Amino acid sequence: MNRFYFVLLLLSSPTLLQPLSHASSSPPLKLNLNLQDAIRYAADHAPGLAIERMNEEIRNLEHLNAKAKLLPSLDVSAVHGVQGISPEISQSPTRPFTSSVTVSATESLYDNGESLTRLSIAALNKELARLSTLRKREALTLEISREFYRYSLNHQLIEVEQQQLIAIQKQFTKLEHEYRQGFKTKQDYLRLKAQSQRAVLDLVSAKSRREQSAISLRKLLGMMPDERPTLEFQPQTPGAKPLLTESSPNLKNTYLYRMQELENQISDKTADLSRRNYWPQAFLTSGVNYQYRDYLRAPTGYASGSTNWNVMLTLQYNFWDWGIRKRNVLIAEDKTANDRQGRKAELIQQQASIMALAEEMQRLNESFTLQQELLVMEEESYSRLSNDYRDGKISYLDLVSGMDNMFRARVNYYTLYFSLLEREAEYRTYEGTLYETLARQ
């Protein structure tokens, strides 16, 4: 009877029959990230940075291999099988089974310096990979900070556009009422109506730009479109004026310069390897072998072993190869020279970018100071115009013009503010301190 009532309860309660996934469904979890959180998230999830870390690990393993080549090696081999000979030399039949165990220890005592050179190249490549990872992290941090500042700028512009739209619509409602009563002309009505529509379009455009910045940020952070939880962002609010340094970053402190110094050393050592083949070469090797033969068919179960050792000095020189080795040396030297010229061009380009950045920072700094003063004047002017308009001293056109000037000054103020933050981020990228500054502040 109790079982009957239980079934009846299930049938009378449709919600109990719903799938568990629907019953426990909840809105997707969202992570609200500020700039610092976004940079830390990207450091753990961005695919480009993960690739650089894997390349760094590969270079580290190659360096360990180059070290290991300087040490003795030990090999063990075991051979088991059957063999025969025809015709038989011995009158007594032989068993066809054969077996042997060999233990070999070998060491290259001297190889004309090639192993040491390759070890040095591996160490340089390891350091180069480390700097490449740090440079990629700085570049990724710069991209995220730029996009985050654009996102924050568009968020501020949305607030400005909303304030402007509310003010214009309020004025338009009043003017429309006066127009219906015949106190305003149709030209006045259409002028303010068009201005109201432009304000709506500006607001829609600012919202669209903010959404595009959010999409770009999610892509930079390594988030798939259907991945959960969803990433949202806390816009940065304008604060005090950014403190920009007046000096230019030192070119020798940049990651590009430091990496090129390592690349030049690698190119020189690679060319040295080609030069070694052009001259006589000496190799000194040693080895010890211990071997058991036919231990499986020994009468006593054990076979006698044999030991041999060797120390070999090999002198090698090719007297005639139709100039191949000499041309290989010239090819290696020309490649090294070409690589140096290419790196020099990159440094010249970066130096020009640094100088242009310093000039732009100075210009933006001066413009921002003037814009701050202009915004204060425009807000004060609009406040007076509002009082005069309420007293009937000025027309609505003067009021609307003053309102446009004030909101335009706010837009320019926010634009310059976040432009200064972008330039500051670029400056710290050249210094190599952007990630440390933003992620650990």
Give CA–CA dist 391/414, Å, rounded. Answer: 32
User: Going by C-beta distance under 8 Å and a sequence separation of 6 or more, which residues neighbour residue 204?
Assistant: none
Burial class (CB in 10 A: 0-12, 13-18, 19+), 173: exposed
pLDDT at 230 over 50: yes
> Which amino acid does the sequence have at 141?
T
For 207-216, the pLDDT digits (tens) are 999 999 998 9
Q: Which of 19-23, 112-116, 274-278, 286-290 has the lowest mean pLDDT?
A: 19-23
Q: How confident is the model at residue 2 (pLDDT cuts 50, 70, 90)?
A: very low
Mean pLDDT (the chain) is: 82
**Residue 401 corresponds to which tokens in the numbers above?**
């013009």
What does the pLDDT average to over 307-327?
84
> Which amino acid does the sequence have at 441?
Q
Sheet holding 305-316, edge to edge: 73-82, 97-110, 281-293, 305-316
Which of these CATH numbers, 1.20.1600.10, 3.50.50.60, 3.40.630.30, 3.40.720.10, describes 25-46+111-279+323-439? 1.20.1600.10
For 17-62, the pLDDT digits (tens) are 344 334 334 444 457 889 999 999 888 888 999 999 999 999 999 9
3-state secondary structure of 198: helix
CA 431 to each of CA 106, 138, 160, 419, 438: distance values in angstroms, whole numbers, following the listed order: 49, 10, 35, 19, 13
Phi, psi of 230 (to 5 degrees): -75, 140
**Residue 149 corresponds to which tokens in the numbers above?**
């500042």
Give CA–CA dist 303/76, Å, rounded. Answer: 17
Give CA–CA dist 149/420, Å, rounded. Answer: 10
CB 435 within 8 A of CB 141: yes
CB 251 within 8 A of CB 351: yes
For 355-369, the pLDDT digits (tens) are 998 888 889 888 999
Count of alpha carbons within 13 angstroms of residue 286, beta-carbon side: 7
Give pLDDT, residue 177: 76
Number of helical H runs and strand E runs in the chain: 11, 6
For 87-104, the pLDDT digits (tens) are 666 655 566 677 778 888
pLDDT at 107 over 80: yes
CB 70 within 8 A of CB 64: no
What does the pLDDT average to over 422-430?
92
CB 158 within 8 A of CB 207: yes
pLDDT at 9 over 60: no
Q: Which of 143-157, 304-318, 349-363 has the lowest mean pLDDT?
A: 304-318
Give pLDDT, residue 311: 84
Whose CA is closest to 35, among 237, 316, 184? 237
